[in-house]
Chain A
Amino acid sequence: MEPRGIGLSGVDPGIIRELSGIYKPFIKAFKELISNAYDADAKRIAVNIRDDFSTIEVDDDGNGMTPYDFHEGFARLGGSTAWLRDGKSPGGRSRIGYKGIGFLATARYCQALKVESHAIRPFIGSRPIEGRGRKVIPLREIVGDLVPADLVKDKVAITRMVATSSTGESRRLSPKDFQIDNRGNLRITSARALKARAYTINYKIDCRHLLLEASLDFDYILGLEHRGDLRVLADFCTVRYRPAAQGARSHTRVTLCGLKDFVVRELSAPRTKGKARNIVFKSGKEQFLWRLARTSPIRDDLSEEFSGESLYRFRELQEAADLPMLVVKWRSEEPITLLRPLYLARGQAIPFEETVVPVEIDENGLRVSGYLLARSEIIYPAELRGISIRVRNVAIGDASFLGWEHILSGPRKAAMSQITGELLVLDGLDAADAINPGRESFYEENHHYRVLKRALMGSEESIGGLVNKTIKAVLDRSRVRSQVNDKIVEARRRRKVLVDISSAVNYYARVEDPSARGLLNFFDTPIRADGLASSRDVPTRPQHKLAGFELENRVGLKAEVEIDYQRRKVRVDFAQDTWNTTIYLNGHYYEVLLKQGRPDHPICEFDNEGRRIFVNWGHPVKLHMDDTGFLKSAILLRLAYHAAPRDADAMMNLALNMLSFRAE
């Protein structure tokens, strides 16, 4: 069969280029092909990227297209038939594409687009025809001449015919009133029917015997910009019909041919050197696959490990959704099945239940279900930060905070880097005035969008809503973590000082010096502490509560501390060395105890019988020093005093040496 050209009238190629430019970058255009396959009720969509990046194929097992479907829906600008069947596919899916410009999406990115399709379902059409008293109405007038008449003449069936009289009355004709003759023409066989001024003829065409092959030459089309007669674009699309194999299943294969150099460069780009935590720094292949998975109507990579109640509904909706399998074969590698990456994916740390904020909106025709998730660390990759909103199982734009990320500042803005969310729009937000072409964002003035925005972000005057609740959760956890951390750091510093004291004293005790002898002798002197021993203890460990959370001593923790935000508990292993207040001095272990003594009490006292050291935390000198400096000074000064009690110079010398001691 000779290829035929299909014309596209009245459109400036410049407009086509502009429309294609809506889908930037390449993946945003490419995803339209997946959306088309989804709209065609495909169960399995296979993407095949050639080794040399010369072509990319999208092969689906959906309903396929008859030549008439192709002409109506694929090759006509704005000619989407999505409005038929109330925006549903024949299989009942809510269609993604409905503006009729999706096929142009890839125009900028390749030289040509080829389509091969086969449909089992018949094409169902309807045509108003003028009567004019004609007995014979040519088939061509009813079905058009898209397909040569001889290919379809035995394949057309009139399913309904309504005659309208000159007075405007309509009457359905019975099969006795007309017939299809052996030439395939429509014959009006009843006199009554002949009188009609006009007919409305519903028909169906069986195209099971036809395999459609079409080719759109984008280079040619876009090359016509500002040249030639733009009112008629001939050869816009070349179509050929082949006989289909007997029993062939319905399918569509779209092939992008001659990918542009910049697309090939993008796809073959290597990963950025160094740490590539964000998708933008990954290789071209990784970026393509990740973004394709994020923007396609496929199953989420939802970890089975997390089964919290908040996610129960989300998981249910996912499982109930009629979603196709998307398989990608990248060059000569093994094919992989893509799952939509989430922050709750396999391999991710399981969040605490309380950090998941459920989202359920049912207001004014808008129904949304999903969750927001607050993490205690910054979310990577960065592309997962923000809220992803899916309409008809396809994400609208990238995850975001609906513009509030540009308004907030300070800790609340920082907290946003720890929040992610997934929302499924079950009803609403699917009107033509809700989502912009390219499906990158919503129209701000759309009523449902305003409802959603208010529920999530609050009013325009101040941030509120569910996101604010999540931000508060992030900040609250951050506060708790910071306070707990401060306590740990304080304990570590204190421990280090005690170890330093131990090093200095033990080291100096080995130096052959009269004052060192005094030091050695002191540890065997039966000295007891007065006064400070009976003073109130100053705790060196947090008691009962920490950062407003209940404190629990738990031996054997893997980490130094565990924070259970859900139960509002902090678990600390006080057996660890950080909390140890014992020091080793010349073969003896001394317990260091902080006491709230009076200002006139000694700065420090040694109890060699009980092997305890009391440090007066109420001493006036403490006001002029930090805690660790005071602790070190108090103990070493007292030791020096005991080591050289009758020699002030030796005492000061010893004290200064020990205070400034620093050893390997």
Chain B
Amino acid sequence: MAVLDHNPELYFSREVDQKSRVLLINPPVQERRYHWLRWNQPTELLRLSSWLRTNHRGIQIRLFDFMFPDSAGSVSKHKVKETWGSSESDSQLWHFGRRFEDFEEYVSGMLREHWIPDVIVVSSLTSYWHVSIEKLLIKLCTRLGRRVRQAAKIILYGNYPRFEPEHAENQPDADVALTRTVQTKDLFPDFGLYIHAERGLPNFYGLDVESSSLADHLAGCLEVQGAFDKTRGISRPSTISVAFLNDDICSPSTHLEDVVAFAQSHPNRFVIEGIAGIEPRSLSSERLRQLKNAGFRSLFVEHAREPGGDLDVAAYSPLLELLGEEAHERKSGRNSNAWLDRGRVTGFVAIGLPDDEMDKIVRSTLKINQFFQSIILKPYGYSPSIGRLSAEARRKRWRQPWQSSPQWFPYLGNESELTQGDYENLLRWQNVLNKRVKGTTFDFLDDGNVARLVRETLMTESWKRQEDAK
């Protein structure tokens, strides 16, 4: 069984030295759906690598990233085939990331060249994607063989042992579960690991917008790219993609102004991916100006909810005002630099929460669809920010952590009054709103809750406008 350890810095300083060989693994994901697949980058592992190198000069570190894209730039996926399915669900699972066979070949190759790892760190982005880690550990132990396995330490790292320590502790194929990650906030991620592992660099550089060394990190990305391009005989400076994987890039701790300054001093050198979340309450005119100057061309706005579940319309005011101003300026021709319009903004609407009410969700989607061009229904699973539950309570409710994944709508049948069918209907409704009707139809005359509510809402709203007009 794995031993829990709450002090990763001390642990690593004990277990590794400059002669150590460390293998870092970003595992695959087995899940029903994974929309953000291409943004899966093991930033914590990359920073851990930097931390280890800083503390132990000469240490050898390798990375196997299951999520590294193939030569076409896509992250592979395939259906999981298992001869017996769980009785809890008949839903098809997908394996996102490279195949286990690739990993097994990699390990065999590593052993053939006598690169025997002393420490193997398996990270996890979420607390509920442990099934693929368990399968990975079995295959890893099988491939390593008894002698190598006995000499190597397998460490669980990241959000799985952090949020599910009791479950992680029971993993028979790991030695240690670190309940905390090493403090690496301002460390530059070791993107160079990819060059050795993959003879290439990832599609984007994932950075932390709250780091005080952000400008240095941006410069570091250009440097890494430049050095790699040189080895390939490319002399013209490349344009790199940068993504900020923070929940709110406009939070009080943001260093967005550093991004702006860097973008201005390095024109056309990088593209900011709009993946990062933005809390509408954090938005101000100043922040919007910064976003524009930093090179953002699209925004993803989180769902601003009132405690009762209604949409906090006021939270969107600054953004809506700016959208109005920019639209006006564009129309009048006064400002040709006006960059923001409804089409560039996507609004999230949270679903899967314990207090979900169909009426409020549908109204929220209609409202946000008025504000912005497109909406995304964002499922939520268990997290301590939604409701603190002890491990015992969690196991009573969800026997395994994977069942608390957002894709399984874990509050169904618990606190939520909605059904699985309601959520599926909502997802179809989302496509209708976004005018993407690829093979899915939304029947407005259906007897289901969503269709009924949409009809009622539409009728109520249109009636209200007629009344206002009178």
Contact = CB atoms under 8 A, between A and B. Distances in A.
A577 interface: yes
Nearest to B78: A664
B83 A510 contact: no
Contacts of A582: 145-146
Contacts of B142: 499, 502, 583-584
B172 interface: yes
A661 B112 CA distance: 30
Contacts of A577: 108, 143
Contact of B95 (A576, A589, A657, A664): A664
B123 interface: no
B112 A584 contact: no
Interface of A: 499, 502-503, 506-507, 510, 512, 556, 576-577, 580, 582-584, 586-587, 589, 657, 660-664
A338 to B, nearest CB: 33
B83 A662 contact: yes
Interface string B37-79: 0000000000000000000000000000000000000000010
Interface stretch (B133-141, B371-379, B437-445): B133-141
Query: 9 closest A-B pairs (Cβ-Cβ)?
Result: A589-B146, A587-B172, A664-B80, A506-B138, A584-B142, A662-B83, A584-B141, A663-B82, A660-B83
Contacts of B141: 584, 587
Contacts of B81: 662-664
Contact residues on B (Cβ < 8 Å of other chain), bracket: 20 to 34
B34 to A, nearest CB: 15
A611 to B, nearest CB: 9
B84 interface: yes
13 contacts: A507-B135, A510-B134, A576-B108, A576-B112, A582-B145, A589-B145, A661-B82, A661-B83, A661-B84, A662-B82, A663-B80, A663-B135, A664-B80
Contact of B82 (A502, A510, A587, A664): A664
B6 interface: no
A556 B112 contact: yes
A436 B368 CA distance: 92
A658 B78 CA distance: 23
Contacts of B143: 577
A663 B149 CA distance: 23
B55 to A, nearest CB: 31
For B134, B138, B146, B172, the residue with the greatest tally of chain A CB atoms inside 10 Å of its CB is B138
Nearest to A611: B146
Contacts of B112: 556, 576
B30 interface: yes
Given A583-B142, A664-B30, 15 more contacts: A499-B142, A503-B139, A507-B138, A577-B108, A584-B142, A587-B173, A589-B149, A657-B83, A660-B84, A661-B82, A661-B83, A662-B81, A662-B83, A663-B135, A664-B135
Contacts, number: 53
A583 B172 CA distance: 15
A582 B141 CA distance: 11
B230 interface: no
A577 B143 CA distance: 7
B138 A512 contact: no
Contacts of B95: 664
Contacts of B84: 657, 660-661
A512 B146 contact: no
Contacts of A499: 142
A512 B108 contact: no
B245 to A, nearest CB: 28
B193 to A, nearest CB: 25
B200 to A, nearest CB: 25
Contacts of B145: 580, 582, 589
Nearest to A660: B83
B168 to A, nearest CB: 14
For A576, A577, A660, the residue with the greatest tally of chain B CB atoms inside 10 Å of its CB is A577
Interface string B129-157: 00000110011011101100100000000
Given A503-B138, A587-B173, A664 B146 contact: no
B194 interface: no
B399 interface: yes
A147 to B, nearest CB: 64
A601 to B, nearest CB: 27
Contacts of B173: 506, 587
Contacts of A663: 80-83, 135
A556 B84 CA distance: 40
A519 to B, nearest CB: 12
A461 to B, nearest CB: 53
A512 B167 CA distance: 14
Contacts of B172: 586-587
A587 B146 CA distance: 10
A662 B141 CA distance: 19
Contacts of B30: 664
A178 to B, nearest CB: 81
B423 interface: no
A241 B156 CA distance: 95
Contacts of A576: 108, 112
B262 interface: no
B100 interface: yes
A607 to B, nearest CB: 15
Contacts of B100: 664
Contacts of A583: 142
A587 B144 CA distance: 12
Contacts of A662: 81-83
A577 B105 CA distance: 10
A661 B145 CA distance: 23
A657 B84 CA distance: 8
B114 to A, nearest CB: 8
A179 to B, nearest CB: 81
B368 to A, nearest CB: 38
Contacts of A580: 145
Contacts of B78: 664
B226 to A, nearest CB: 35
A507 B136 CA distance: 11
Nearest to B95: A664
A657 B95 CA distance: 22
A582 B149 CA distance: 12
A499 B108 CA distance: 14
Nearest to B149: A589
A512 B149 contact: no
A582 B146 CA distance: 8
Nearest to B107: A577
A577 B109 CA distance: 10
B399 to A, nearest CB: 7
A348 to B, nearest CB: 28
A592 to B, nearest CB: 13
A159 to B, nearest CB: 71
B163 to A, nearest CB: 19
Contact of A502 (B80, B134, B138): B138
Nearest to A508: B84
A549 B455 CA distance: 83
A503 B141 CA distance: 11
A582 B138 CA distance: 13
Nearest to A659: B83
A660 B145 CA distance: 25
B25 to A, nearest CB: 17
Interface string B395-416: 0000100000000000000000
A158 to B, nearest CB: 74
Contacts of A510: 134
A259 B399 CA distance: 85
A510 B173 CA distance: 12
Interface in B87-143: 95, 100, 108, 112, 134-135, 138-139, 141-143
A405 B94 CA distance: 55
A627 B399 CA distance: 39
A529 B8 CA distance: 43
Contacts of A506: 138, 173
A79 to B, nearest CB: 62
Nearest to A510: B134
